[in-house]
Amino acid sequence: MASATNRGMLSAEERRRQRELEEARKAGLAPAELDEEGKEINPHIPAFMADAPWYLNAGAPSLKHQRNWKDQVTDEMRWYDRGAKVFQANKFRKGACENCGSMSHKTKDCMERPRGKGAKWTNKNIAADEKLEDDFELRTFDAKRDRWNGYNGDEWVKQAERFEKVEAMRAEIRRKELLEKKLAGEVEEEELEGQLAGEEAKIDETEEAGFAKVEKRVRTAGGGSTGSVRNLRIREDTAKYLLNLDTNSAYYDPKSRSMREDPNPGKDPSQKTFYGDNFVRQSGEVGGFKDLNVFAITTHERGQDVHMQAMPSQAELAFQQFKQRKTALEGHSKTDIRAKYGDAAAPISDDIKALQASSQRLRLLLARLTPTLPPCPTSTLQASEAYVEYDAAGRVLRGQEVKAKSRYEEDVMVNNHTAVWGSWWNDGAWGYACCHSTIKQSYCVGAGGKGAAADAAQQLAVNMEAKAAEDEERRKESKLVGHKPAADVWGEAGEDLQLDPAKVAEALARQQQHEKEGREAEERDDRKRKYNSLAGQDVEVTPEEMEAHRLRKQRADDPLSFIDREKEKLKGGDGYDYV
């Protein structure tokens, strides 16, 4: 990555090449640029972050100016030499391990296989001394438990190469065995070809596992993969999130690239190519597995010792036996039904066909000879073979029309009535039109009933008028006529009301005595008051008593009432002269 200073000194062609190289690095088609320490520089880093300041004089591309140069080495960054050897002895030394002969550990800490005779006595196969780092101490929690500290990834590459060689040798030995059997005549040509094809399929299975990969990238710090990019779908197919652009349709997870629900549930199945990822979960052996789980749970609830997780083999065997018994019972039931009622799909003999034809002709002959019967009023369904012709307007030209009746009784006259119940209505009541009776199931008296009903209605009106006149006369004779309530008692008379001062003083005294007794009763206990203790009290209120009540009434919303009462008390009064 060219710095800002060098970029300004380049020609137009060099700048174009530099720009193309940067685009190729961002696309993963070219290897990433390396800094002075050999580390890859992410090509997606912006120029204002990747370019070093001019005063650093950075001649090579680097991100050193972006790193914290004050960082110290932590325990996670310290690695020890795992398995490093420092010295190989030729004879046993005093103080070494008696089993392997190494000076790195004691006999009780030796990790080698216990020998029949240790190196102390045989003085052979002396193990090398391992590198011990005395000052290497890990202090943090994660560093102490890092199981991969000191591991070298190249060791796994060696193991993988060895495994591939073993597999190749095993496949070659298998091919030779098959060819020897062919030469010996134990295996035929077609069978040998099938076995060889199967072996080749097994060998190429790992290679064919990457059939959906497109080799296009290299390992880069800018997002390149391990040398390939997996193509998860054919590019000609429509993406899942484009099947239905409605915002309320099935949810698409961009991270897992999955759409579990059907994006077009109302679309014709023959025109859909995608039914949702959950459709795959309901196909194949999923249904059988669900049936097995349901069987295990149901059987366990019924008291049998069947458990899907604890004993899966037993549950599978019990389920297979259950399906066999169920199939046998269903087949037995079908056999019994066919034996009892016959099988319409079975071939019919000529005799049975002739018998059916003769019975059909007999039914047609009886239908022609049987006269048309009147329809039954209570029948649910009716059919008639009577011939009837109609004109264009729907009028009957020939024959007698048969009207279909409902399943309810119609035109049934009871109790001498010539009309049905509900054929007459008057003043909110249903009745019979023949006699104007409003009582159901009553006996019909004909036209006399109509006159009686009219007379009854007229008499009812006369009685109601007489009752109303009687009530009006009684109201006029009442003592309450002309009575007016004493409005002045409640303070509505105004200033024209004339009150007797002596009676007002007596009413004030009684009001004060009454309030005092009420306070004393509250101080005692109102629950001890007898049931009829308030009976016989005079409930009539005179204007003087109402005036005494107004004078004694407390006015909490009057800001001057409290001050005036306090002044009156200081003067020796009762505090009510200014109210």
pLDDT at 579: 43
β pairing state of 429-432 and 421-426: antiparallel
Q: What pLDDT, on a 0 to 100 scale, did the predictor assign at position 558? A: 63
Mean pLDDT of the chain: 77
- The residue ranking higher by pLDDT, 62 or 122, is 122
Residue 375 pLDDT greater than 50, yes or no: no
The per-residue pLDDT for range 196-229, each reduced to its tens digit, is 666 655 555 555 444 444 444 455 554 544 444 4
Residue with tokens 């009442």: 478
The predicted model gives 494-516 an average pLDDT of: 80
pLDDT-based confidence at 116, cuts 50/70/90? very high
- Per-residue model confidence as pLDDT tens digits over 129-157: 998 876 567 778 887 788 887 777 788 88
Whole-number pLDDT of residue 378? 42
The answer to whether the CB of 28 falls within 8 A of the CB of 224 is yes
Name which of 23, 223, 217, 54 is nearest 1 in CA terms.
23
Confidence band, pLDDT 50/70/90 cuts, at residue 285:
confident
Residue type, 493: A
pLDDT at 114 over 90: yes
Please provide residue 474's backbone torsions phi and psi, each rounded to the nearest 5 degrees.
-65, -35
Question: 427-460: string of b/e by CB count within 10 Å (b at 16+)?
Answer: eeeebbbbbbbbeeebebeeeebbeebeeeeeee
Tokens 């943090």 belong to residue: 140
Q: Which tokens is 255 given? A: 């991270």
CA-nearest of 554, 518, 553, 551 to 537 is 518
173: pLDDT strictly greater than 50: yes
Whether the predicted model's global pTM rises above the 0.85 cut = no
345: closest CA among 360, 357, 334?
A: 334
Residues shown for the chain: 579
CB 52 within 8 A of CB 58: yes
What pLDDT sits at residue 442? Answer: 86
> How far is C-alpha 11 from the chain's CA centre?
64
Residue type, 395: R
- Using a 10 angstrom Cβ sphere, with 0-12 exposed, 13-18 middle and 19 or more buried, the burial of residue 143 is middle
Residue 520 belongs to what H/E stretch?
Answer: helix 501-523
pLDDT in tens, 180-190: 887 777 767 66
Is residue 121 predicted with pLDDT exceeding 90?
yes
- Measured between alpha carbons, how far is 487 from 219 in angstroms, rounded to an integer? 107
Q: Per-residue pLDDT for 75 more than 70? A: no
